Structure 1
Amino acid sequence: MLPLIPADLLRALGLVLIPAAWAVAGWPSAAVMLLVFGAQWLTRWLVPGSALDWGAQAVLLAAGWFSVTGLYHRVEALDLVMHAAASAAVVGLVAVAARARLRRRGEDPGALVRRLGPVLSAAALTGAGVGLGVLWELAEWWGHTVVTAEIGVGYDDTIGDLAADLFGAGAGAALAVRGQLRAAGSAR
């Protein structure tokens, strides 16, 4: 059994919000919160108790709950803000996973960033974040088409979401690369 850590309080909230979402808005909303809950456990596996764990969980919980309550339809640009924030958090998690993978292979992540350069490294992370954003938009379209028309899609929504994903992923990538370069510099 995993020892409890303070950040597990947000995971407990995520668990409670699954049936709450069902009660508020039906099973598709409960499925969204179940997806959020799964992502919360991914943060525990990758970065337990860190600022990224807390921050990513908070962003994902807010994004899911705003969807459940229909807040995106009532607050202009909230969807874009949340797409940017979620993309930044996801890119942070991708960077952590990539760093762990490199270390398992016996490679130095800092050396790789220095060899590729910070711009190319950030571009790769940004591309990963935007790629995941594209998959999310495809899932939204599928949900709108197959599950319920209440899931908002459309050309303007999709393009706006992807632009926000690009902005957030770029910001997250810049922070991740800067952090890796700092860590590599202090390790010397």
Structure 2
Amino acid sequence: MELFQNFLQQTITLFAIMDPIGVSAIALSLLSPNITKTQIAIIAKKTTSTILIAFFVVLITGDLVLKLFGIHEDSLKVMGGIILLLMAITMVRGSVTVNKKENSDKNDEELAIIPIGIPIAFGTGLFTTIIIFKNQAASSVELFSLVISFCVNALVFYLVLKNSIYIKKYIGVTGQNIVTKLMGLIVGALAVQFIISGVVHLAKGYF
């Protein structure tokens, strides 16, 4: 039961941070206005592959980075919480912007990896959260649960991005903004939990 609760929490958390509907709206603003269903499907596949590869790289090398720089897990929680809080404020304010001029010389398929895959879909907030969740895993079963949780979100991300043209048509820009703001509230609440937990544990170590 506890394993399922952790899986559910991780899945919802990762979904909120990834914000596939919000990312799909940004992606459409970067891509050609005349993009076809076939092209958007290819882009969705490439972007999803990118974030999956990034996830496994972080999962495997994340601990090495912490050890290399001597960073404590609780310090990462506090810093990660601050990053997520700033991200949440941006989501709630609806002020996510991307400089389209910088990417105007790239074709749509090139944009699938950078910047849509990294850093828009897979940014610093997701990076720190994955490392924190990995360090919280007490067994290989819980670690496997994290992998499944991310893969589920990657599948949802793929389906949303693939059908982003239809989603924009049915719920409109206003609907996409509302969803992003709601995801921002969840990310903000998670950020506060990370910060408080990290500060409490660090304080216990010093006093």
Please give the TM-score of this superposition, normalised by the length of structure 2.
Answer: 0.33
Please give the TM-score of this superposition, normalised by the length of structure 1.
Answer: 0.35
